[in-house]
Amino acid sequence: MSQTTWIKGGRIIDPKNKRDEAGDLFIADGKIIDRPSDDELSKATIIDATGLVVAPGLVDLHVHYRVPGQTHKETIFTGTSAAAAGGFTSVVCMPNTSPPADTAGTIQYIKDAVEREAVVNVFPTGCITVGMAGELLAPTGSLSDAGAVAISDGGKCVQNNGLMRRAVEYAHMFNIPVIDHCEDYDLSADGVMNEGFVSTKLGLRSNPKEAEEVIVSRNVILSAKTGAHIHLQHISSKNAIDLIRRAKARGVNVSAEATPHHIAFSDTEVESFDTNFKMNPPLRTESDRVALLDGLEDGTIDCIATGHAPHTDYEKDVEFDYAPYGVIGLETALAATLEQLYHSKRLSLSGTLSLLTHRASEVLNLNKGTLSVGADADIAIIDPDLEWTPNADSFLSKSANSPWIGRALKGKTIKTLVSGNLVYDDGKIVKKIV
């Protein structure tokens, strides 16, 4: 047998298998194994996890890695380093690159970059439409054959309902999900924040919740019609959550995610005019924020996904109207989620981690997010009670457009292993996976 790794003395939490106990975990050949022989144990590499939680590596279904074309914002190496620092061992990257990932060749380019640079597992997605222009369908079959795990138009939404119907029918035929950013452009009308009291007070162009709700309704109808799996990104509206809840009760094949920033903040944060609070969909009201937490608690919303969207400081350091949408989130997601769900006593630690592990993995059938014997040894060793405060220089991401800068957080990843290899250790990337 190859070299054994012995993670010793931690609290092992594996939500998929309902395991929560003090114990040891063993790794060989990149897989979780049963207890090896005493002789093998005597030669094992020991990782002391005393006082820490040993969990499956976290899974993020929604990141923007800017490769190809925008490496001044993020590279595969910096993006996956940020993932490892956050405890994420598997991420799904969106296709809104430059050029967009609408051909098999671009998917292969991304896979080649991942092979060279990534320190965690990266799963690419392909476009729904050519150039994400919403006019012609991209070659779904070729994208799937090239390795795309889903199709999406990234931060754009197909407005033509007939075209979207054909898109989900083709995706269903190739057995891959459609991931959709839900926004009716006629209703959102280039709004930069949520429509309501605060937008009126600040005099900023507004994006109403109905812009999201109309497309959520559209996607529920199309999924019910075709049987296709449609995954709804970064849900932010209380009424949208109600639509999803009722659809799931009828057996409609939809799933949904919420972001750490939408469960942590409301639109009152925009009163600071800090562009790190500008994202799309925008931060909504406090009642919407609480509805998101309720949806995560009752299972209406399937998982947490960061929507990690890096931008340079000079792009964000402009008037609120002109700043790009989006914030980074990989390195702060665990703490933000723990704060809203675990430390607030809404969910157990296992229940909270489930939203970041196997429940996320199961949305796209990635076969990740568990500590089952025989599973890939993708592991996050975390301290759920460690208090820390991020600053602009503390991120491993190439960008620092984070709404959590200067805010006290509780919960941090200490070590991250991918296929049994230690890739992140207490603030530093220590090994590149080749």
Peptide bond into 324 cis (omega under 30): no
Residue identified by tokens 């529920």 is: 220
Residue type, 199: S
Model confidence, pTM: 0.97
Return the number of other C-beta atoms located less than 10 Å from residue 430's C-beta: 15
Beta bridge partners of 56: 379
pLDDT tier for residue 1 given thresholds of 50, 70 and 90? very low
Is the domain spanning 57-363 CATH 3.20.20.140? The answer is yes
| pLDDT beyond 80 at 432 | no
Confidence of residue 261 (pLDDT cuts 50, 70, 90): very high
Grade residue 434 by pLDDT with cuts at 50, 70 and 90: very low
Q: How sure is the predictor about 139, in pLDDT bands with cuts at 50, 70 and 90?
A: very high
Q: Give the model's pLDDT for residue 119.
A: 97
Cβ neighbours of 38 (radius 10 Å): 7
- Segment 217-254, tens digit of pLDDT: 999 999 999 999 999 999 999 999 999 999 999 999 99
CA 231 – CA 428 distance, rounded (Å): 34
Taking alpha carbons only, the member of 376, 373, 336, 375 closest to residue 356 is 336
C-alpha to C-alpha distances, 230 to 54, 137, 253, 337, nearest whole angstrom: 32, 16, 7, 24
Percent of the chain at pLDDT > 70 equals: 99
Structure tokens at 72: 């001044």
The DSSP output letter for 270 is G
pLDDT category at 39 given cuts 50, 70, 90 is confident
pLDDT computed for residue 431 by the predictor = 66
Pick from 25, 36, 38: which is nearest to 2 by CA?
Answer: 36
pLDDT band at 38 (very low <50, low <70, confident <90, very high): confident
pLDDT digits (tens, 9 = 90+) for 371-428: 999 999 999 999 999 999 999 999 999 999 999 999 999 999 999 999 999 999 999 9
Angle between helices 76-85 and 104-117 (to 10 degrees): 60
Does the structure show a pLDDT above 80 at 342? yes
List all residues 6 or more positions away from 221 whose beta carbon is below 8 Å from its beta carbon. none
Percent of the chain at pLDDT above 90?
96
Domain ranges of the chain: 57-363
**DSSP string computed for 391-429:** -TTS-SSS----TTTT--EEEEEEEEEETTEEEEETTEE
Cβ atoms of 292 and 339 within 8 Å: the answer is no
Query: What number of other Cβ atoms are within 10 A of residue 429's Cβ?
Result: 19
- d(C-alpha 220, C-alpha 357), whole Å: 25
Burial class (CB in 10 A: 0-12, 13-18, 19+), 139: middle
Q: For the segment 113-135, what is each residue's pLDDT rounded down to a tens digit?
A: 999 999 999 999 999 999 999 99
Mean pLDDT over 139-145 rounds to 98
76-118 tens-digit pLDDT: 999 999 999 999 999 999 999 999 999 999 999 999 999 999 9
> Looking at residues 271-300, what average pLDDT do you find?
98
Over residues 291-295, the mean pLDDT reads 98
